[in-house]
């Protein structure tokens, strides 16, 4: 059974027993990882046009955020937020269809890979320009305020590299000035493509930036699911309760290249061996076993189920049509009567 | 009783705010201060909570407008000078302009750009960026030249489901007056024949309309009748009205205040050459600002952009061809 926007976006409550919440998050992490592995495999097989971008190593953080958000919230995920998307309720088919270019997907072949969303469901489709989604989330939250809709939170995701943009500064400052319920989650994954953090910023810790904007900082270990759940849920709750913008900075290591075209040979081996280099999925699985919240058999069954879900989605989408350029309306305007028609030579070349 | 171009813009915004609860205004100094040019004078008082001062963050101003539009609002975003839209360029062309095409969710935002030269404006308070924005798919670019159009086209812009770049000309703010606000209007996308003639067509828009009309009046003294077409919107561009005019006159001069490389005048000539080559009795000509940044000193500025004097000279030269 595939998750849908409707049935997956049940609000989390603090009353949910922690092991159940942990296991639920683990399931989203595992689903995202298996889906990523499948997409990477399809990419290697030449089945995907354009780039493949994985969330390996960031699933705990991302799933925690997706679970902390509720129906009616606004979510602007970034490229490594497959787990958060699933937890927020993005149908897995959206991911597969957008990667494979199915005309039935939300982007219909007009945009690809991680550039997908359903704005009407609060899921904003990222553009490639980092930091640009922050102010868009702000505006959505301002709209909610105009409309007297209470209790809404907006979340935007970014990496360490994105904090160097002007859009980050403008967006976070704007959220603070407007006292918006924005949760800005920064995955400090040590590299922006190949650039290490030492060439990205000179502050001690990215969370230190929060005070300069008048927003609340939160720091966490992105390899530890429990820490992610607790801190991210607390930040979201604080924003929802009227506490203004929250800046969550997670330390972790990107366990893949920037994209699958990138072998990431530049990653410092010492970082890989450090606590930052732990795989959050393995850490979480070990915790599940250690605490007795799951056993080897049930985890094996879970992995089987999740793999089946992914295989089913891919098999479904592989039978779906690609966009037909002759069926495309080639119109970028909602007001179609105002679209331009440009004269072009007749197809047979005669004047 | 008369109303200026600037007052028409203020009144259009007041009407939009009064008629549609989804409308709000966001920009630098637009609140209690009433805007750098007073285009939002008293609107913050008349519509409490709906006219908001923004930080000096053009990227975030446009971004927030987009987010609000996604959630059903109809923001009017004032950028203090068109020149300052460039820090928000990314949000305009990559976010606003692509949203509908990518997602089928419209992006109804109106971005007001006080445009064009005024004496002493200099390189960073004088630019005309309509050609730049018209280049991008997914945007509508309006260049009202009259008080009536400033009012009616701004109201229509707010009602449209697409992002609109509203290039209002600062020189016209106080100089241009009409007896009253219009009660009816031509739709966006239709050009207007502002002066009928049979010997030469001048295609222009925004403040250059008035230079062209003055030039046409001057040349009329020679016995030549110039037809002046006001494009009103540069995107969409009403090729039919332009070509129909050239069919009547056989000669085309395009006049624009923007920089000469590419742009609206080049686009008009390309379309006439493509669709109406056989109608031309002489090579189509164009007149733009010079290919330098816009100078500060009035002596230099007056030679930098087209004026009635060099428009009439260009028209006379074309009439001799």
Pair (B118, B173) in one structural domain = yes
* Chain A contacts in chain B segment 237-276 (CB below 8 A): 237, 271, 274-275
Task: Look at the block and give the residue holding tokens 């209470």.
Answer: A150
Give a yes or no: residue A350 inside a domain. Answer: no
B196 plus B174 within the same structural domain: no
Q: Which of B178, B202, B220 is the last residue of a domain?
A: B178
pLDDT tens by residue, B220-278? 999 999 999 999 999 999 999 999 999 999 999 999 999 999 999 999 999 999 999 99
pLDDT in tens, B66-87: 999 999 999 999 999 999 999 9
Q: Does B103 touch chain A (CB under 8 A)?
A: yes
Domain containing B268 — which CATH number? 3.40.50.920
In a domain, B185, yes or no: no
Q: Is B125 a catalytic residue?
A: yes
The pLDDT score that the predictor gives to residue A347 is 62
Residues B226 and B174 in one domain: no
B210 token code pair: 């008035």
- Positions in chain A whose pLDDT score sits under 70: 1-16, 345-351
Q: How far apart are CA B246 and CA B216, in angstroms?
A: 16
In a domain, A345, yes or no: no
Looking at the partner chain, which of A111, A137, A331 has a beta carbon nearest the beta carbon of B102? A111
B163 and B258, same domain (yes or no): no
Q: Do B71 and A118 touch (CB under 8 A)?
A: no
Residue B137 forms part of a structural domain:
yes
In a domain, B149, yes or no: yes
Whether residue B100 is found in the same domain as residue B215? no
How confident is the model at residue A342, as a pLDDT?
82
In three state form, how does the secondary structure of A107-155 look?
CCCCCCCCCCCEHHHCECCCCCCCCHHHHHHHHHHHHHHHCCCCCCCEE
Task: Find how far residue A196's CA is from the centre of its chain.
Answer: 22
A330 interfaces chain B, CB cutoff of 8 Å: no
Where does a domain end: B178, B211, B238?
Answer: B178
Tens digits of per-residue pLDDT, B7-32?
999 999 999 999 999 999 999 999 99
Residue A71: CB partners within 8 Å, gap ≥ 6? A9, A10, A11, A89
Q: Do B173 and B212 belong to one domain?
A: no
Question: Is B186 inside a domain boundary?
Answer: no
Give a yes or no: residue A276 inside a domain: yes
Residue B152 sits in the same domain as residue B34: yes
CB contact under 8 A, B91 and A135: yes
pLDDT at A6: 42
Query: Does B40 share its domain with B84?
Result: yes
- Position A224 in a domain: yes
Same domain, B112 and B32: yes
**CA–CA distance, A33 with A196 (Å, rounded to integer):** 24
Helix or strand or coil: residue B27? Answer: strand
* Residues B236 and B262 placed together within one structural domain of the fold: yes
What is the domain-level CATH number for residue B71?
A: 3.40.50.970
* For B272, nearest residue in chain A (alpha carbons): A343
Distance from CA of B152 to the nearest CA of A (A): 17
Please list the residues that pair with B131 across neighbouring strands: none
CATH number, domain with residue A228: 3.40.50.970
What pTM was computed for the model?
Answer: 0.96
- Name which of A166, A338, A344 to mutate to probe chain B: the one with the most chain B Cβ atoms within 10 A of its Cβ: A338
- The residue range of the domain holding B299 is 192-320
Q: What is the mean pLDDT of residues B175-186?
A: 94
Spell out the alpha helix ranges (H) of chain A. Answer: 5-8, 18-44, 59-68, 82-88, 92-100, 132-146, 166-177, 209-213, 225-240, 269-273, 280-291, 296-318
Q: Name the minimum distance, in Å, from the CA of B175 to any CA of chain A.
A: 31
- A274 domain-assigned: yes
A295 CB burial (10 A radius; 0-12, 13-18, 19+) = exposed
Residue A226 lies in a domain: yes
Number of domains in chain A: 1
* B89 and A CB contact within 8 Å: no
| B20 Cβ under 8 Å from any chain A Cβ | no
Please check whether residue A302 lies inside any domain of the structure.
yes
Give the model confidence (pLDDT) of A11-21 as tens digits.
455 456 799 99
Note whether residue B250 is domain-resident.
yes
Q: Which residues of B touch A142 (CB under 8 A)?
A: 64, 67-68, 73
Are B149 and B298 contained in the same domain?
no
Q: Which residues pair with B200 in a beta bridge?
A: B226
Residue reference for tokens 């990431």: A264
- Among B150, B178, B206, which residue terminates a domain? B178
- Do B148 and B203 reside in the same domain of the chain? no
- On whether the CB atoms of residues B234 and B295 are closer than 8 A, the answer is no
Residue of A nearest to B94 (CA): A127
Is residue B183 in some structural domain? no
In a domain, A344, yes or no: no
pLDDT at A351: 46
Catalytic residue (choose from B125, B169, B210, B304)? B125
Number of domains in chain B: 2
Which pLDDT score is estimated for A1?
32
- pLDDT digit string (tens) for A169-215? 999 999 999 999 999 999 999 999 999 999 999 999 999 999 999 99
* Cβ-contact A141, A154 below 8 angstroms: yes
Q: Which residues of chain A does B91 touch, with a Cβ-Cβ cutoff of 8 Å?
A: 132, 135-136
Question: A139: which chain B residues are within 8 Å (Cβ-Cβ)?
Answer: 63-71, 75
Listed residue (B136, B254, B140) closest to B187, CA to CA: B140
Tell me the H-state helices in chain B. 5-19, 43-46, 58-70, 89-90, 97-103, 130-134, 147-159, 170-175, 208-220, 239-249, 263-275, 298-304, 308-320
Domain that holds residue A145: 5-338
């Amino acid at each position: 059974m595939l998750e849908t926007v409707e049935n997956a976006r049940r609000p989390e409550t603090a009353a949910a027993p922690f092991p159940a919440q942990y296991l639920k998050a683990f399931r989203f992490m595992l689903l995202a990882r298996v889906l990523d592995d499948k997409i990477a495999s399809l990419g290697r097989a030449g089945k995907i046009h354009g780039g493949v971008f994985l969330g390996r190593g960031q699933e705990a953080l991302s799933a925690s955020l997706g679970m902390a958000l509720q129906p009616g919230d606004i979510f602007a995920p970034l490229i490594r937020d497959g787990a958060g998307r699933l937890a927020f309720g993005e149908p897995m088919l959206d991911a597969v269809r957008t990667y494979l270019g199915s005309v039935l997907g939300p982007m219909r072949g007009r945009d690809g890979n991680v550039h997908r969303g359903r704005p009407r469901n609060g899921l904003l489709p990222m553009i490639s320009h980092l930091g640009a989604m922050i102010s868009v989330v702000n505006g959505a939250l301002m709209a909610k305020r105009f409309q007297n809709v209470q209790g809404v939170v907006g979340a935007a995701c970014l990496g360490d590299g994105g904090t160097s943009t002007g859009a980050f500064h403008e967006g976070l400052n704007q959220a603070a000035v407007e006292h918006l319920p924005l949760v800005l989650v920064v995955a400090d994954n040590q590299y922006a493509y190949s650039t290490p953090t030492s060439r990205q910023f000179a502050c001690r810790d990215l969370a230190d930036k929060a005070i300069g904007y008048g927003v609340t900082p939160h720091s966490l270990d992105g390899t530890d699911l429990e820490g992610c759940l607790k801190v991210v849920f607390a930040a979201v709750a604080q924003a929802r309760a009227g506490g203004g913008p929250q800046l969550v900075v997670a330390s972790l290591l990107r366990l893949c290249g920037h994209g699958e075209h990138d072998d990431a040979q530049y990653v410092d081996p010492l970082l890989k061996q450090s606590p930052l280099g732990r795989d959050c999925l393995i850490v979480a699985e070990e915790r599940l076993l250690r605490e007795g919240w799951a056993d080897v058999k049930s985890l094996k069954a879970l992995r089987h189920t999740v793999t089946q879900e992914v295989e089913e989605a891919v098999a479904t989408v592989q039978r779906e049509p690609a966009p037909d350029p002759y069926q495309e309306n080639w119109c970028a305007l909602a007001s179609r009567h105002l679209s331009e028609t440009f004269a072009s030579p007749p197809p047979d070349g005669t004047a | 009783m008369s109303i200026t171009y600037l007052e028409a813009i203020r009144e259009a915004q007041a009407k939009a705010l009064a008629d549609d609860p989804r409308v709000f205004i966001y920009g630098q100094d637009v609140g209690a201060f009433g805007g750098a040019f007073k285009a939002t004078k008293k609107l913050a008082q008349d519509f409490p909570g709906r006219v908001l001062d923004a930080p000096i963050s053009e990227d975030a101003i446009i971004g927030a407008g987009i987010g609000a539009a996604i959630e059903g609002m109809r923001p009017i975003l004032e950028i203090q000078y068109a020149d300052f839209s460039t820090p928000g360029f990314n949000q305009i062309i990559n976010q606003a302009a692509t949203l509908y095409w990518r997602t089928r969710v419209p992006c109804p935002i109106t971005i007001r750009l006080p445009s064009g030269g005024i004496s002493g404006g200099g390189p960073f308070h004088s630019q005309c960026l309509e050609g730049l924005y018209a280049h991008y798919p997914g945007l509508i670019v309006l260049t009202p030249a009259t008080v009536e159009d400033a009012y009616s086209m701004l109201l229509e812009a707010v009602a449209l489901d697409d992002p609109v770049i509203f290039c209002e000309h600062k020189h016209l703010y106080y100089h241009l007056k009409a007896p009253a606000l219009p009660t009816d209007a031509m739709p966006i996308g239709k050009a207007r024949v502002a002066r009928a003639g049979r010997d030469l067509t001048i295609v222009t828009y925004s403040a250059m309309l008035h230079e062209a009309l003055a030039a046409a009046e001057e040349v009329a003294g020679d016995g030549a009748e110039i037809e002046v077409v006001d494009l009103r919107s540069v995107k969409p561009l009403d090729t039919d009205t332009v070509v129909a005019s050239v069919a009547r006159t056989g000669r085309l001069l395009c006049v624009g205040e923007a920089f000469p490389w590419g742009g609206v005048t080049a686009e008009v000539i390309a379309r006439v050459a493509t669709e109406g080559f056989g109608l031309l009795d002489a090579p189509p000509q164009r007149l733009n600002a010079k290919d330098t940044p816009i100078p500060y000193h009035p002596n230099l500025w007056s030679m930098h952009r087209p004026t009635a004097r060099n428009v009439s000279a260009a028209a006379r030269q074309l009439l001799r061809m």
